Amino acid sequence: MYGNLKDYLTDEIAKLHEQKLYKGERIIESPQGSEITVKGKKVLNFCANNYLGLSSNPDLIKAAHNEIDYRGYGLSSVRFICGTQDRHKELEHKVAEFLGMEDSILFCSCFDANAAVFEPLLGADDAIVTDSLNHASIIDGVRLCKAQRWIYNHADMRDVEETDTTTGKKGKGLERCLKEAKEAGCRFIMIATDGVFSMDGDIAKLPEICDLAEKYGALVMVDESHSSGFMGKTGRGTHEYHNVMGRVDIITTTFGKALGGASGGCISGPKEVIDWMRNKARPYLFSNTLAPSVVGATIKCIELLSSSTALRDKLEENTKKFRSEMTAAGFDIVPGVHPITPIMFGKYDNCSELAVKFADRMLEEGIYVTPFSFPVVPRGKDRIRVQISAGHSTEQIDRAVAAFIKVGKELKMIK
Ligand SMILES: *Cc1c(COP(=O)(O)O)cnc(C)c1O
């Protein structure tokens, strides 16, 4: 009896279109890279999570091919039945070493890792203290867990109660939440945060978070999806960038962004935590193991990044160039150091439409960028989010900046 549901969905989908919230997909007819083919036309890609330009790297492709030849296509099993190869263990050790942690456990995605990480460790007597702008997968992971929760205003470390400037909701600072969790007599308290927040590219205040964690006896969990491989001077992540390696207890991260871009993720942390996860984490126990091709290529990727900082250095150089040239051109950019560079439209009339129109014009100019509007970002914070890659050549960045300036003048945003 699909009939009623069909009518309902047809209406709801029509509403999404009306509200301009429907998410269409642009079809790419080439491998991922700094230059891609969209509708038969070559364009420069400035919106991928391909931070280190490794998505179609020849060495990683070769490693994936080799792995298929030597370890097969798939394992048709979860890890604990007959889905663990020597290479899974090798990858787990290599990732842990790269991140500076004791051990790791693999998942098919970081979404799964975040869905897995809280529930086995924390129960109704415990507390999770979580940033209001944390990634959807952390929010879902927290929901799956019985722990009491405190949501702190984004990046607000203080012992205060006030309105969150980013969400517009009344809330509290981190220290206030920790105090309350302590007063409620919680057994374990875990602070959960993104290392880098994906909409503004801002970095979690880890030194202050770690200080507060020590003051209140809390654990620190950081999702490093937008930083593993390139943040910090050897690319280990925001804990290296902020010089708090050894003070973060648990890291989750993805292999689907800088670390090759295919798929997969992990939890890294103390060996007891990882051991417990292998026995209790539901997305690990009840979901198929990571495919050999991904395992082989990710091992190759970690080896590459452990032996040279050339790619993260290039990314840093490209990011500085793009950010400074766009700022000089008069665009309103959220300041920072991360390759996520938000070009803000809030100060112009009809900013949502303007951002959409801008992105369409950019595509005509051969530059693929994406506009973000409510509800993905708060109202009035419409933006085009550019993501810089080590795979971009200097000439490609010049072309992107030139196109931004051309379209910006045309739409009367800059002089
Ligand atoms: C992308 C992202 C994820 C999801 O990673 P997948 O491996 O694609 O599931 C989780 N957390 C954060 C912060 C992310 O940016």
Q: What is the pLDDT of residue 110?
A: 98
Q: What percent of the chain has pLDDT over 90?
A: 92
Residue of 138, 224, 199 whose CA lies nearest to 370: 199
Kindly report, residue by residue over 18-69, the tens digit of the pLDDT. 987 888 899 999 999 999 999 999 999 999 999 999 999 999 999 999 999 9
Quick one: which atom of ligand 1 is closest to the CA of 194? 13
Quick one: which atom of ligand 1 is closest to the CA of 49? 1
Q: Residue 166: which pLDDT band, with cuts at 50, 70 and 90? A: confident
Three-class secondary structure of residue 383 per DSSP: strand
CA 195 / ligand 1 centre spacing (Å): 11
pLDDT of 240 above 80: yes
Q: Residue 378: which pLDDT band, with cuts at 50, 70 and 90? A: confident
Known catalytic residue at 198: yes
Going by alpha carbons, the residue nearest to atom 5 of ligand 1 is 110
Fold observed for domain 20-49+309-410? Aspartate Aminotransferase, domain 1 (3.90.1150)
What average pLDDT does range 201-228 have in this prediction? Answer: 98
Give residues (CB < 6 A) around ligand 1: 109-111, 114, 135, 137, 194, 198, 223, 225-226, 254, 256, 265
Helical pair 351-364 and 394-410, crossing angle rounded to 10 deg: 130
CA 264 / ligand 1 centre spacing (Å): 10
Q: Which of 226, 239, 314, 338 is catalytic?
A: 226
Number of other residues whose CB lies within 10 A of the CB of residue 275: 12
Q: Which of 239, 257, 300, 338 is catalytic?
A: 257
CATH number for the domain formed by residue range(s) 58-307: 3.40.640.10
Q: What is the pLDDT of residue 374?
A: 84
pLDDT of 11 above 80: yes
Give, for 148, the enclosing helix (H) or strand (E).
Answer: strand 148-152
Quick one: which atom of ligand 1 is closest to the CA of 109? 7
Describe the strand order of the beta sheet including 161-163 as a list of residue ranges: 103-107, 265-269, 250-254, 219-223, 189-194, 127-131, 148-152, 170-172, 161-163
Q: Which of 55, 198, 293, 389 is catalytic?
A: 198
Ligand 1 pocket: which of 107, 111, 228 to mutate (most atoms within 8 A of CB): 111
Start-end of H helices in 220-350: 238-241, 271-280, 282-285, 292-307, 310-328
Kindly report, residue by residue over 89-118, the tens digit of the pLDDT. 999 999 999 999 999 999 999 999 999 999
Report the half-sphere exposure of 119 (CA within 13 A, side-chain side).
19
Start-end of H helices in 35-101: 58-71, 79-82, 86-99
DSSP string, 104-143: EEEES-HHHHHHHHSTTT--TT-EEEEETT--HHHHHHHH
Known catalytic residue at 226: yes
What is the sign of the dihedral through the CA atoms of 64, 67, 68 and 72?
negative
pLDDT of 168 above 90: no
Strand partners, 163: 170
Contacts of 38 (CB under 8 A, 6+ apart): 26, 27, 28, 29, 363, 368
**Single-letter residue type at 133:** L
What is the sign of the dihedral through the CA atoms of 306, 307, 309 and 314?
negative
Backbone φ and ψ of 108, nearest 5°? -75, -15
CA 110 / ligand 1 centre spacing (Å): 5
Strand partners, 172: 152, 161
CA 222 / ligand 1 centre spacing (Å): 12
What is the domain partition of the chain in residue ranges?
20-49+309-410, 58-307
Known catalytic residue at 347: no
Distance CA 368, CA 36 (A): 9
Kindly report, residue by residue over 136-161, the tens digit of the pLDDT. 999 999 999 999 999 999 999 999 99
Three-class secondary structure of residue 403 per DSSP: helix
pLDDT of 228 above 80: yes
Number of other residues whose CB lies within 10 A of the CB of residue 75: 20
Query: Would you give the DSSP letter of residue 146?
Result: -
